Amino acid sequence: MSGNDCIFCKIVRGEIPCHEVMNTETVLAFLDIAPVRPGHVLVIPKAHHPTLFDLPPDLSRDLLSGLQAVGKAVMAATDAEGMNVGMNVEKAAGQLVFHAHFHIIPRISGDGLSLWPQTPSDDHETLANLARTIRDNVS
Ligand code: AMP
Ligand code: ZN
């Protein structure tokens, strides 16, 4: 999908309204229309890049600065004690909008949200093999 048809590009261009929380030269942040928790914010590059892998370094730096600024503001505004920052990458991971974006979700101790259903592993041979395979794929 090109930037023309992209819903987040339309928000950046002002063709679709949003509840804006931060607007810089390169980064826009606004409330998610279907929040996981109140204060769930999306931090997006203004330029159209479909996934994490398409983001240029300078813009990635701006997005990280945006996450820090907006994250602090979200926590202050919602009396949160912490926050989850996440990006869904590709359809299999739940990416619905192919204009790369970070989610900020404010958290309070005991709020019951479970985002990381982990399974501990002591199978160190499997872990070592997997780590080696991943290392071999790092470019
Ligand atoms: P993802 O699944 O990571 O691609 O997330 C896309 C997010 O965009 C979802 O959490 C949606 O609720 C949110 N979303 C979609 N359309 C809008 C919109 N017009 N304004 C605000 N958030 C939106
Ligand atoms: Zn876009």
Q: Which residue minimizes the CA distance to atom 17 of ligand 1?
A: 33
35-71 pLDDT, tens digit per residue, is 999 999 999 999 999 999 999 999 999 999 999 999 9
Percentage of the chain lying above the pLDDT 90 cut: 93
139: tokens are: 């470019």
In the chain, the DSSP E strands lie at 20-23, 27-31, 41-45, 82-86, 102-107
The residues lining ligand 1, judged by C-beta closer than 6 Å to any ligand atom, are 7, 16, 18, 32-34, 42, 88, 94-97
Q: Where are the domains of the chain?
A: 7-112
- Of residues 48, 99, 101, 103, which has the active-site annotation? 101
Please say if 101 is a catalytic residue. Answer: yes
72-122 pLDDT, tens digit per residue, is 999 999 999 999 999 999 999 999 999 999 999 999 999 999 888 889 999
- Which pLDDT value is given to residue 116? 84
- Split at pLDDT 50, 70, 90, the class of 1 is low
- Which pLDDT value is given to residue 115? 84
The model carries a pTM of 0.96
Percentage of the chain lying above the pLDDT 70 cut: 99
- Which pLDDT value is given to residue 101? 98
User: What superfamily in CATH does domain 7-112 come from?
Assistant: HIT-like (3.30.428.10)
